[in-house]
Structure formats: structure tokens, C-alpha cells
Amino acid sequence: MINCPNLSCQTPNSEDTNTCSVCGTPIPHHYLWVVGAAQLGQPGDYLYSRYEIKGERIVLDTQPGLIPESPPEFPSFVLPYLALSGYALNVPRPYALLQDGEGGAVLLLEDAAIAAKTAADIPQLLPALNDCWEGASPLRQLNWLWQIAQLWQPFATERVVSSLLELPLQRVEGATVRLLELRSDSTDTVELSHLGQVWQPLAERAHAGLQDFLQTLCQRLEAGEFTQAEQLIACLDSAVLALGQGQTTEYEIAVQTDQGPVRQRNEDACYPASGTHQTYTIVPQSRALQPLLMIVCDGIGGHQGGDVASQLAIAAIGEHLNAKLTQPHLSAREISAAIETAICAANDQIAQQNDSEARQARDRMGTTLVMALILGPQIYIAHVGDSRAYAISQRSCRQITLDDDVAAREVRLGYGFYREVVDHPGAGALVQALGMNASQSLYPNLQRLIIDDESLLLLCSDGLSDNDRVEQFWRNELLPVLQQRQSAAAGTATLIQLANTYNGHDNVTVGLIRGRAVDAAKQPLPAELASPTPVATRPAATIIAPTAAPPAKARAKSSLLPLLIGIIGLIGIAGGLIAFFFSDLFRERQQLVPPVVNTVPELSTPTAAPPASLRPGTYARIQSLQSSSELPLPLYQTPQLVDSDNPALSGTIVGRLPAGSLVQVIRRQEATDEFRWIQLRVCTSTNQAGNDQADPLDPSEPARPPASAAAASQPTGNEGWVLESQLATLVEAVDRPTAAELSGCDR
């Protein structure tokens, strides 16, 4: 039985019920994977009087209306789940953390690799990748490996990359790889070459046309020819592109926007035009391949111009993509960069109009964005704000974008589980949207999907997604579209109607993209393609983009956009307190102030790519200083607020880096709009001073070393922050550090 989540009702309902028998409230079914419990008990028993045991390590929350349990502090094994919350398609999300009474912790994971209930009423695990391998198409086999390669670097940063080496943890739901749980890395270094060893048995059982390519790839991985995950990704990108060109793919797209029952005007906007319903067939080796573009924007600004901002964004993105994608032979990385550039151009155009009209604070207009760019069997998804994308399969409906709001930020930074922080005041306040600031402080979120069978994507504004309406209605309204029992146009119309009926507080925009691989590609891939330095190619392409610009001035609107100003306190070890003020955007319906939180380094993907030697996870060596009298480079305890007029830094120095030091890049953060900080871990430090000189890793001011001083290696494991502008000219990349040099990084 599941208690009604309506706290004023709480009527017990049978497990096969979707709505409460008394009040009609939707009944959520949270099937959870248990991590950390040695013995659960028998099916039908209860864990902590709340979670019904359904099978081996699978439980059901019978009280979904109550906030799940979580302690004030999390054990270290939980933190990687939070930091990797942006990888929603592949990584399960912490739901609750229970204490077992003996000092241990039991973690419950939602969105784990658990299939929907079977006819026997027992939820089952999704099948293992290893078990489904031989029955998969060639493109799907490549797709699975490509997803694992995409996860390697972020998993390595969080020290859970061992999860990608254990095949039993890798489950599949159609084209998607789903991790059952994460495994922390041991003290031994996990190398990319280990992936070649794990993949070798798969290569031997791969589709005949892939065997030469995959076996060569595994051999080169094991030999250490691939030194960085991005090389492996680029290699698999080339293979996917080559194989995808031989696949016939059908697409059906439909999009519709509606003012809603209470709004005086529609601040949402979409591309193509509302009411569009089209079908496309992309045939193998098509030289006239035209990318398909869908955009959903939700304007912010009330009477100050939210509708203008959303139209500006669509026009600018279309214009920039049309100019870029006409170039032939673009790689996946170049296409991603083109999308980021287009989004930043749209952001700057809106911001410039705000500036030209002297709009300040809450008077500034802006917009959220979610978009899909279709190129053959690949779909690029980008978003800013809280407009969402969902992926619908035969078994599930999953949100694949992570809202740019306070709740998601607090989860990513390790402050709490989503089910807890989402109920905090101001949790839905936006932390970024297009047009509010210069693009230097904008971080578009990008991901890519590969269509190798049947797939359905939903893009929508929060007029539909609020109150979990997508999760409530997907089985009845979206599955028929996926199964071609209903057209995409009928699906969008129905979702608009449901949004207006069950939400009704906002404008609503809905776009559907149904993709289907009609004729799978089977041509063999040459072994020569398994190279660490591939060159990806694709046919030239064009986009039909909107040409008319929106009105230059905003029209009168009905209400003002509130501006949320939060204060983040940064507590330093030296006892200094520096206040950072920032503006968190939020929706007209969410006039709440987010809680004050401590500043910690924030993981985010910058608009401008970092130098190759300063990407997270890479190693670099400090080169010779410009003069023998120059002090070693300082490491700061935390990123500092930098005054562009007086760039002198006064924060707590935890160490110094003399020439010859080997460092690992941990993460990057911007303390302000202009100054970017890099967090480093010191693997080996070379002391250039003589024995009578101060230790360069001593935070105190060191003596200036003589030019002829002997060097001494000091593995340290220290971590600290430096300005990228100071570091970039003093480092050289180190592709393969020695084991001795890496010893300090494990401390």
C-alpha cells in the first residue's frame, strides 16, 4: 500500500493505483535501490517502517508525501552522486540516507536501473549491458561505449571511475546506459588503459562489422596510446558519424505554444512556428542533409519585455547556427561550440538591449531556453534556465536536463538531497537565464543523444512541467506518440490542454520530436579509424532560421519581474569574511528568497574552453619562473574576490609552487565575471631553495632562492587555488606522469 502524498488525506492506496481513491491526487511510485545494507529482509517486510522490500535491494517508498530522511552531514561516498547530478540519464540520484544504528549508513537511490513493474508485480533490474551486447545493433553498441567514454572524465574527477570498469553495474534501457550505483576508486590509480581490458571481451563479441575497429581500439587503449578521455570520445565520435551516415532515420516534429487561461499575453516563444507538424526522412549518405532545429523559450520580465527577449533569443540562435553549420566537415566538438556561441550571442543581444534601454535589476528582461539540433541520427540538447527536456522510452519518462535553479545548485554543491532542498524557500529561483548578464558568466548546458531505434523527446516550458505534470501524464499521453498510435501534433495539443487544466498559471509551450531508425547501418568500420587523433567529417548543412527580428522596444506588460538578491558568505581559515553579492533570477510565481549558503567551489562548464593544460583531470608542470628572484606561485585557501583596478590578492596562502612542481587540475571556478580560478592538487613539489631556505610549501613568505640552488622533490597532496591568468603562462602539459610523481596526488 502507498499512502496518498496529500498530507491532508494520506489514504492508503494499492500499489497498482495511479491516483488516490479518495482525493484524486497522483500517486508516485518510487522504487529505490539500496546501497550499504548487508541484509534487507524478505519481500513484504519494511525497512525503517516506511520502505517496503520488493526484492533483492529494491524497496518502495510507501509514504511519498513525507520528505525523505537525510542527516546534516553526508559520508564521503554520497558526495559523488550529488556532484554528478547533472548526468541524470546515466547516474542515479540520492533519495534518502538512513542510519543503521551501528554507525553505518544506508543510501536509497531513485532513478536507478530499475525497470517498471512486471506482470508478476515485482520490479526488476534493467538488463546488464553485457547480457544485451550481442543482440544490439552496431550503432547501439557504439552508442553504449560512447556514453561510457563521456562519463570517464567527470567520474575520474569525483574518483568513482571504477564504476565504469565493472560491467555488472552497467545496465541498459534501450539506447541509454544506466549505472546501478557508484563505486569509489581504490588508492591505486585507475588508468584509461584499464577500459581497454574491460572492453576487449565485448569487442570479440561485437557485430562483425565492428570487430576489427573495436579490437584495434582496445589494443591501443591498453598500450596507452589514448592518454585522455577526450581522445577516446573523438575516436568514437568519428565511428558513430561514419556508421550513422549509413542509417535511414525518420523524424516527426510538432510544437505548439499557448497563452494559458490567466496570462494577458504569451511570453513563451518557439521555433518552428506554433502549430508546426512535419515529418522528415534522412537517408544514407545524404549530401543535402539539413539540420532540424527546435527551440522553446520562456520569457522573463513581466511587462518589461519577456516576450521580446524570447523572440530575440530565437532569432539570434537561428541566425548564428545558420551561418556556422553551412561549413563542411564539422566535428562534434565544433558543432557543440557553435551551439554555445549561438546561445552566448543571443544572451549578449538581449543584454545589450537591456543596457541600451538603461534597464537595471528587476527591470531587465530575459528568457530561459531549451533547444534540440538534429543532425542525422544525433540530437544536440542545450538549455539555460528551467525549461526542460524529457526522454520517453517504453518503460520510463526521464528529465534529462537539470534546472538552473537554487535547488539543483545546492544538490550539486553537496548541501542536500533534491527531495529535501526542493521544498526550501526559493528553491525554484533561477541562477541563470539569457540576457541578465554578459556571456562571460553564462554556462549553457549541452549534451548529445544518438538515435539508434525509437525515441521520443519532449521540450517544454514550466507551464507544463510544474507540479510534475509530465511524470503524471506521460504513460497516457506520450507513450501513444512513441508507439505511433497518435501523432506528435495530437500529443502537443493534448499536453497544452492538460497544462491549462491542471496548472493554468502560466504560458505553456510543448515540442515533441519522435525519432526512429528505419534501416540500421551495417557497413564495416575500418580498424584505421581507431586512432587517438581522428578527424570527424560530415556533409555540409544549412538551417532555415527565423529572419524577422522582434520589436526593438518591449510592449507594456502586466507585472514586474522580482529580482532575487542573495548573500553568500565565504568563511576563510584566517578568520576573514568576504561577502559576495549576486543576483539570482526567479520566476514571477516564485517570490521567495533562497537561504544563505556557504560558498564552495562550484563545478560548471565555462563558455570559453580552458587551455589544454588546464582542463580538469589533466596534469601540468610549473615551468621556470621569469627571473631567479621571483617568488614561487602562491596557492590560496579559497578563490578570492579580485578588484580589476587593484588586483593585489590578500587571501590565506596555504603553500607555494616552485618551478618543476607537478600539479593536477581539480576544477575551475569564476570568483567574479572577469577572474577565473583553478583548483590544483600538488603531486610533487621541487624545492629550489637550499637547506637553509624556507620550505616553498610553507604558507609564510619564503626566502628568495638563489639561481643555483639544488632541487629536492617533495610529494605533498596539498590542494589550493590560483588565478588562471597567473598559471596559464607558467605551465606545460604532462600527458603521462610517472608513478612516483603521482604518489603525492593520492595523499
Residue 541 lies in a domain: no
- The angle that helices 332-356 and 306-324 make with each other, rounded to 10 degrees, is 140
Signed CA dihedral, 41, 45, 47, 51: sign only: positive
User: What does the pLDDT read at residue 735?
Assistant: 66
CA 506 to centroid of chain Cα atoms: 27
CA 580 to centroid of chain Cα atoms: 25
Between CA 557 and CA 362 the distance in angstroms is: 14
* Same structural domain, 371 and 262: yes
The three three-digit cell numbers of residue 330, written as one number = 564539422
CA 67 to centroid of chain Cα atoms: 25
* Same structural domain, 273 and 215: no
Q: Which of 75, 110, 145 is the last residue of a domain?
A: 110
Between CA 277 and CA 456 the distance in angstroms is: 15
Which amino acid, 691? N
The three three-digit cell numbers of residue 654, written as one number = 596555504
* Same structural domain, 463 and 399: yes
Q: In what helix (H) or strand (E) does residue 469 lie, and over which residues does it extend?
A: helix 469-477
* Same structural domain, 76 and 169: no
- Phi-psi group of 398: left, alpha or beta (phi > 0 → left; psi -120 to 50 → alpha; rest → beta): beta
User: What does the pLDDT read at residue 641?
Assistant: 57
* Same structural domain, 329 and 458: yes
The three three-digit cell numbers of residue 25, written as one number = 491526487
* Same structural domain, 276 and 403: yes
Could you read off the pLDDT of 274-310 as tens digits, one per residue?
Answer: 999 999 988 876 644 568 999 999 999 765 689 999 9
Which amino acid, 399? Q
* Same structural domain, 433 and 448: yes
The three three-digit cell numbers of residue 67, written as one number = 520528505
Residue 563 lies in a domain: no
Residue 124 lies in a domain: no
- Overall domain count for the chain: 4
Q: Which of 520, 553, 585 is the last residue of a domain?
A: 520
* Same structural domain, 311 and 388: yes
* Same structural domain, 239 and 178: yes
Residue 199 lies in a domain: yes
Residue 324 lies in a domain: yes
* Same structural domain, 254 and 144: no
The three three-digit cell numbers of residue 104, written as one number = 553505518
Signed CA dihedral, 680, 682, 686, 688: sign only: positive
- Kindly give the parts of the chain with pLDDT less than 70: 38, 101-103, 116-121, 187-188, 285-290, 302-304, 534-617, 624-631, 640-651, 668-675, 685-717, 735-736, 739-747
User: What does the pLDDT read at residue 694?
Assistant: 31
HSE, side-chain direction, 13 A CA sphere, residue 309: 30
* Same structural domain, 48 and 156: no
User: What does the pLDDT read at residue 126?
Assistant: 94
Given a contact cutoff of 8 angstroms between Cβ atoms, the answer to whether 387 and 379 are in contact is: no
User: What does the pLDDT read at residue 231?
Assistant: 93
- Containing structural domain, residue 272: 248-520
User: What does the pLDDT read at residue 736?
Assistant: 65
Angstrom distances, CA of residue 717 to CA of 50, 498, 532, 685, 689: 43, 56, 30, 10, 20
pTM, entire model: 0.72
Residue 478 lies in a domain: yes
User: What does the pLDDT read at residue 695?
Assistant: 35
Between CA 269 and CA 272 the distance in angstroms is: 9
Could you read off the pLDDT of 137-180 as tens digits, one per residue?
Answer: 999 999 999 999 999 999 999 999 999 999 999 999 999 999 99
The three three-digit cell numbers of residue 503, written as one number = 496548472
User: What does the pLDDT read at residue 555?
Assistant: 27
* Same structural domain, 303 and 210: no
Between CA 84 and CA 77 the distance in angstroms is: 12
Q: Which of 110, 143, 176 is the last residue of a domain?
A: 110
277-282 sheet: strands from edge to edge: 277-282, 248-258, 508-519, 454-460, 388-392, 397-399
Which neighbouring-strand residues pair with 734? 619
Residue 423 lies in a domain: yes
| Residue 197: φ, ψ to 5° | -65, -40
Question: What does DSSP assign to residue 210?
Answer: H
Residue 669 lies in a domain: yes
User: What does the pLDDT read at residue 699?
Assistant: 36
Which amino acid, 558? S
- The angle that helices 229-244 and 208-222 make with each other, rounded to 10 degrees, is 170
